Chains A and B, each alone.
Chain A
Amino acid sequence: MNWKKLLKTAYPAAIVVAIYLLTILLLKGGLLNKYYIQVMMFAGINIMMTASLNLVNGFTGQFCIGHAGFMSLGAYGAAIITTMVFDGKNIPVLAQTPVFLLGLLVGGCVAAFVGALIGLPSLKLKGDYLAIVTLAFGEIVRAILRLIKPIGAARGMIGIPNYSTLAWILLFVTLTLYLLKNLIYSPYGRAFIAIRDNEIAADVMGIDTTKYKITAFCIAAFIAGVAGGLYAHLLAFIQPDSFSFVKSSDFLVFMYAGGSGSLTGSIVGAALLTVLPEVLRFLSEWRIAVYAVVLVVVMLYRSDGLVGGKELPFMRIRRGELYEEPLFARKGAKKSPSAQDR
């Protein structure tokens, strides 16, 4: 067992656990109240949304601006499972977790499926045109949801059980970031980045650009769908109008303010800008105007994003790591050549 390697790989997870325990401690000790926890949970959901948007816009270089549409599909999908297929607030305790997870899964799948449907024709469009189509998609989903009576139409869906806890959200955020990090540093991730940096060259070098664009799009849609499900079970109430272009633009702002093409940037951008409006609450009616000024200032002076497009160590995989000792060294296994030999 390679203890040094274990420490290096596991420390991010340890930090997440520590954050959780610290938060619970502060909560029990009366220093934090439920409101702060809720802000943290929203930050977590926003991190998931921003990171998944970053996969498509930041890493694959596309212009998708209707991400809230996928969130709404996931939110409604999950809510339908927990309140309409199963018995909502009356689900027995033992069944709650499986039903919740099923709901999230269904929400994610619905979002991904619609993503594929939209992606196939649209991802052939370039730049601004793709942006417009994705904007329209978000609004059309909203318009359709407003018309469907059984799920509450424009008034929305109430009575969604409160299954989203801090633990669940931290778990999903960590999982999302871990999986996305692995994806970026894999043949798929490299294909996405190639498409972003020079699509024609990528095509000529054998990359089926449409296939990879749709793959990125569907993965992002799935994650957004799951985040939507978590959102629905946090608020206990959802309505179509909360998923308008305004919400999509929130995620775009988080993404670019944090740094396009950087997962760390998504974490920082989403977390900071979710917390900022709450911190500014003391300004009452000046709150949004001040937030707007902060945003413009950040974009003017840190145009590459708050983290400058770079990644913190735990969000990146260096080439040299391929040659390091694995976690579990098999008895008698050959030692792979070290990074220095190359």
Chain B
Amino acid sequence: MASDQELIIQFQAATNREANFTALLKKHQQKVYYQIKRMVTDHADADDIAQLVWIKIWDKLDGFKMESEFSTWLFRIAYNETLNYLQKQKKQVSSPTSGELLDYENASASSDSPKSTEIQIGLDSAISQLPEKQKVVFMLRYYEGFDYEKIASIVGTTIGGAKANYHQAVKKVEVFIKQL
């Protein structure tokens, strides 16, 4: 499989642009989508933002100088687009609605005890109430396993700041769950 750099060089050289872009897209689309969905929770919103992100990538890829990793640049655009989208929609990620609660209950009824369902709902609510930056830092570190240098570049902070955000996110979620 061709590396990101090779695909970008070919794209910029205007040789088979669509094929190279599609290859790049297929390599990264899932992680980008998951990252967005963790911030907005709704699939339709996440899909919409993902499309905006990739359209932006298509428009700006010619000017990408490869001074940073492509994935860092991609996640940074995804993070900014998600923040813009949330601001535009004035839609704060709220605690799960009764319908969503029911979905979780149904989904976990077969395997989990009532206690674990309660903990699950609590965790979802707690994570959704975190400030966006802390939420993203936690997701990128815990689920994606990104290093702090990369996370700091994505959210626009220092390495120390990224570590502090991870620490605060975990502590806030813990406090929130204990209050339930």
Chain A bound to chain B: no
